[in-house]
Structure 1
């Protein structure tokens, strides 16, 4: 039997429709043996009519051709954003075996530019057939992508897009629009003259990720278009240093008592939320990103006003599967596979789990 888009059509059916033998159809489909031009034309016309697409997965398995994909992503611990992304990679990996595709993971420190640089240097010595790339450090991703273009290696972007690159596809939200959504969620709850604190996690050797910059651009654009009269105050915070962060924020709120809103552009809004909870600051509205455990706890407790989510598991899964389908079947995905921008509140967060 052979596959087409809508039905299962047998070789004997193709032979009957073309008025030739089954053996002749078999030679055409599998490109073996000679066939007269007249018979070839009749068979190809029938194949076109039934929208025939060869079962390239079976053909790949039969040929023994194997592929290797590399996934370039940040290191993580369970409960963090990239753990959900990895769950999508693992789900796709389980299915990729039918394509003769193996998946390898290469991880870097998302808060250290040099870590990513070192990883790219190591990857230049690796052989692989496709790549899923988290684009946090866009300035280094772009030249690496050009190298992959030169090697003929297809690649998919996740986390945030870099449209200037020749990527096979992008899977993720529009980071700019996600920034606009966060601004509206926050601004609609504030007086237009209130100040807003922006929590930034200190990066080593870099001002921040590509996605955070794009989100902030969208955030600012919304405020500019809606008569925001307050000020944005930036707080440089550290991961896992509660005492340091407390001192920074205490001083900021002392100097700027009109702060009534807060936002972070990555998945660490639990840091600001923890501070607000410890200081019993119920007068500050906080919006953040991503449904990770610590953020979810703060949202359920009412400390976080809203979370903007982007389905990382789906990004990982679709990135791997798009490369599998392209390498084995020659099936190209849409260039941009935008994910929904989900808005999570205290009232609906329990329905999001497992979905």
Structure 2
């Protein structure tokens, strides 16, 4: 065999197999119009050379369009999921050469049927891939079963459902995050006998697998290390925010000695802003996520710690992984845990300036 260049080109393979460049291209991409004898010669040469096609160039040349569907909880501008959408848009911009697009749909996190209905619409649209924030497993399964039937890959962000295995997952280890949060909270206390968990809830639905798993991890730590500490609960109405302050007034009136608490959702600012208004109430609060209102409460002292999980990066990496898998034919890592970052008023500004 003649000496070959360091970088094997299609024309080198064509010369060795004594066929045209077009024939080699058709064999590499599995297209028809090649005789069995020519296909066999080309495949033998490819195997001998361990040829790896340039998938980037091939994808560009194909001019195929890739449409993705994203299913996220309903939210207001500036809330947690806004950052996820920012990451999705950034990923689409990064892969714009490949004609990528995404349609974002929303579901009511306190209404499981809303998730099912939105999922059906997504399946009917026949996207190339799906990025979703799962709801309760039995309702998520309705969507993932349909996607599996259609051979549509899907990626979870925010929370993982092990029994409904996705192509990939990006998010925190929720259980470990809650376990860690309990340890941090109890480091603040001086042998307190009572602490409180604040929730946003609607008709018994918390609205997030992640919040539920964080609480499970939190309670496991408390059971193992502080079994005698009483855990109080205050469930604020998710769809009646006007009642928040009234319910918080009632709680602190009934429990004047409670000085430590946590909320597992991204709305620590609800309690933090209340505490700022009622400055006579000393309280240590741990919350989640870098919403502007949460950060303000952190700097003003009504939130003691925030635990961050990089939602923008979850959205970006979710779409990036779909592109890598579908377009560039790359192998992908299934479980991708985000860091559990503990932030205070003293280090928050440095964290916000960290480049990706």
Q: TM-score band (shorter)? A: 0.7 to 0.9
* Superposed counterparts of 1:175-186, under 5 Å: 175-186=174-185
CA separation of 1:186/1:28 partners in 2, compared to 1, >3 Å: closer, same or farther?
same
Alpha-carbon separation, structure 1, partners of 2:18 and 2:91: 37
Contact 1:322 1:332 survives alignment (8 Å): no
Please, which runs of 5 or more residues in structure 2 have no aligned partner? 28-32
CA contact 2:180–2:218 (8 Å) conserved in 1: yes
* Count, aligned residues: 343
Q: What is the RMSD of the two structures over their aligned residues, measured on CA atoms?
A: 2.7
Q: Distance in 1 between matches of 2:136 and 2:97?
A: 33
Task: Give the 5 Å matches for 1:68-217.
Answer: 68-203=67-202, 206-217=205-216
- What whole-Å deviation, never above 9, does each CA across 1:54-113 have from its counterpart, x for those lacking one? 223332333332221100012333321111111100001112322332211111233443
SS at match of 1:84: helix
8 Å CA contact 1:310–1:341 kept in 2: the answer is yes
Alignment map for 1:12-23 (pairs within 5 Å): 20=16
- Secondary structure, counterpart of 1:329 in structure 2: coil
Change (3 A) 1:296 1:36: closer
- Aligned positions of 1:1-355 closer than 5 A: 9-11=7-9, 20=16, 27-28=23-24, 30-31=26-27, 33=34, 35=38, 40-46=43-49, 48=50, 52-203=51-202, 206-238=205-237, 244-281=243-280, 283-355=282-354
Alpha-carbon spacing, 1:8–1:94, altered in 2? closer, same or farther (3 Å): farther
Q: Distance in 1 between matches of 2:6 and 2:209?
A: 46
1:151–1:205 distance in 2 versus 1, CA, 3 Å? farther
Paired residue secondary structure (1:259):
coil
- Structure 2 equivalent of residue 4 of structure 1: none
Rounded to whole Å, the distance in 1 between the matches of 2:39 and 2:171 is 49
Q: TM-score of the superposition, structure 2-length normalised?
A: 0.87
Question: Per the alignment, in what secondary structure is the counterpart of residue 214 of structure 1?
Answer: helix
Q: Secondary structure at the match of 2:47?
A: helix
Q: 2: distance between equivalents of 1:90 and 1:198?
A: 35
Q: Specify whether residues 76 and 333 from structure 1 end up closer, same or farther in structure 2 by C-alpha distance, changes over 3 A only.
A: same
How far off is 1:292 after superposition? 0.5
Distance 1:92 1:38, change over 3 A: closer
What per-residue deviation string (whole Å, max 9, x for no partner) do you get for residues 154-209 of structure 1?
10000100011131000111011111121111111013333111111122572432
Query: In 2, distance between residues paired with 1:295 and 1:28?
Result: 58
CA distance in 2, matches of 1:121, 1:41: 45
**Structure 1: 5+ residue runs without aligned partners?**
1-6
Distance, in Å, in 1 between the alignment partners of 2:113 and 2:274 is 30
Partner SS state of residue 331, structure 2: coil
Q: Report if the CA contact (8 A) 2:199-2:206 is conserved.
A: no
Q: Is the 8 A contact 1:57 1:98 kept in 2?
A: no
TM-score by length of 1: 0.87
Classify the secondary structure of the residue corresponding to 1:333: coil
Distance 1:154 1:231 in 2: 44
Q: Secondary structure at the match of 2:106?
A: strand
Q: Is the 8 A contact 1:261 1:285 kept in 2?
A: yes
Aligned residue for 2:30? Answer: none
Deviations 1:98-129 (A, max 9, x none): 23322111112334434323322433432211
Note if contact 2:202-2:239 (Cα within 8 Å) is conserved in structure 1.
no
CA separation in 2, counterparts of 1:328 and 1:124? 20
Alpha-carbon distance between aligned partners in 1 of 2:290 and 2:80, rounded to the nearest angstrom: 7
Secondary structure of the 1:72 match is strand
